[in-house]
Amino acid sequence: MAVRESQVRRAEIVRLAKTTGLAGVDDLSDQFGVTASTIRRDLAQLTAEGLLARTYGGAIAVQPHPESSLRQRAVEDYEVKRLIAKWAASQVKSGETILLDAGTTVGAMAEFLRELESLTVVTAGLTALAALADADQVRVECLGGTLRHLSQGFVGPLAEANLARLSFDRAFLGADSVTADRGICEAELGQTRLKELMMERAGDVYVLAHAAKLGERLFHAWAPLPSGVTLVTDSSVSAEQLAPFAQAGIHVVTV
C-alpha cells in the first residue's frame, strides 16, 4: 500500500511540475501531508529517473520538453496553421513594413503576402525568406545573426542590433507555447529576448498559436506579452483555455 501511495504521489509531483514549472519542498510536503524528508526522497528518485531536474532551494523543474525541429512541426496541425496564417496575412496592407518571426505558422503566412504591392517584409526566419525569395514586388530584408538549426531562425547579438535600428507597422510572432501570465515560451533565452525586442519595435503585435499551444509551459524561457497584443488561434480552443487571456486583457481572435 505504501509503495502504491508513493507512486501516485510521485506521478502527481511530475504533473504539478509540468503545469506550474517550479515547486518547493515545503509546499509539496504540506500538499501531500508527508514529511519534507519524504518529499526529498521522492525528488531524488524522480531526478534519478530523469523525470525532474533539481534547482536551488529544493525547488524542482521538469526537464525541458524535447524541442521539435521545424521540419517536424511543419506537418503538425497543418490546415489549422494555414487558416491562422491566412487571417494574419489579411491584416497586412500594401505599403506597410512588417516583421515576420521564425516558425511554421508565420512562415506559412508569408505565402499569402506575395501579391501585395510596396510591401517591406523583415524576417528572422528561413521559411519566410524561401516563400518570398521570388516575390519581386515585395522588398525582403533579413535580420541576420546566428542561425538556430532546429527552428531555422536567426537569433543573437547581430539580430538584436539590427532590430534596434528598425520599426514596423505590424509584427507577427510564433511561439512554442503561450500563457496569459508569463507570455511566449521558447526553448532558449536568445529566442525570447529577440521576441521581446520585436514586440517593442512594432505598432501592432500578433502572436500566432494554434489551440494546442495555449496554457502549455514546455520550457523555461519567456517573453512577457505587452498590453494591446492580439493572440490569433483556432476555433478548437476551449473556454477554459481562453479565460486567463481574457482576464489579462489580451485580445483573442479565433479562426
Q: Residues 146-170: pLDDT tens digits? A: 999 888 999 999 999 999 999 999 9
Q: Are residues 105 and 205 in the same domain?
A: yes
What is the reported pLDDT for 72?
52
Host domain of residue 79: 70-254
Amino acid at 54: R
Cα separation, 197 vs 164, in Å, equals 8
Q: Are residues 52 and 149 in the same domain?
A: no
- Contact assessment for residue 110 and residue 131, using Cβ atoms and an 8 Å cutoff: yes
Does the pLDDT value for residue 75 go beyond 50?
Answer: no
> What is the pTM (predicted TM-score) of this model?
0.74
What is the reported pLDDT for 183?
97
Does the pLDDT value for residue 15 go beyond 60?
Answer: yes
Last residue of a domain, which of 62, 94, 113? 62
Least confident of 67-71, 130-134, 165-169, 177-181: 67-71
Does the pLDDT value for residue 57 go beyond 70?
Answer: no
| Residues of the chain above pLDDT 70, percent | 85
Best CA proximity match to 180, nearest among 222, 126, 136: 222
| H/E element, 26 | helix 25-32
Does the pLDDT value for residue 85 go beyond 60?
Answer: yes
CATH number, position 19:
1.10.10.10
| H/E element, 19 | helix 2-20
CATH number, position 122:
3.40.50.1360
DSSP 33: T
**What number is the average pLDDT over the span 122-133?**
96
The beta-strand segments (E) located in the chain are 52-54, 60-62, 97-100, 119-123, 138-142, 146-148, 153-155, 168-173, 177-179, 183-186, 202-208, 221-223, 230-233, 251-254
Cα separation, 178 vs 181, in Å, equals 9
- And the C-alpha cell for 47? 531526478
Q: Are residues 108 and 127 in the same domain?
A: yes
Q: Are residues 112 and 38 in the same domain?
A: no
Q: Are residues 117 and 211 in the same domain?
A: yes
- Contact assessment for residue 187 and residue 217, using Cβ atoms and an 8 Å cutoff: no
Last residue of a domain, which of 62, 89, 106? 62
Cα separation, 74 vs 174, in Å, equals 13
Q: Are residues 76 and 53 in the same domain?
A: no
**Structural domain total, the chain:** 2
Scanning the structure block, which residue is given the C-alpha cell 515547486?
A: 23
Query: Per-residue confidence at 25, pLDDT binned at 50, 70, 90?
Result: confident
Q: Are residues 123 and 156 in the same domain?
A: yes
Q: Are residues 147 and 47 in the same domain?
A: no
Q: Residue 135 — φ and ψ, nearest 5°?
A: -90, 85
71's CB contacts (< 8 A; 6+ apart) are none
Residue 155's DSSP bridge partners are 146
What does the pLDDT look like over 173-200, one tens digit per residue? 999 999 999 999 998 899 999 999 999 9
**What number is the average pLDDT over the span 83-88?**
97
What is the reported pLDDT for 87?
98
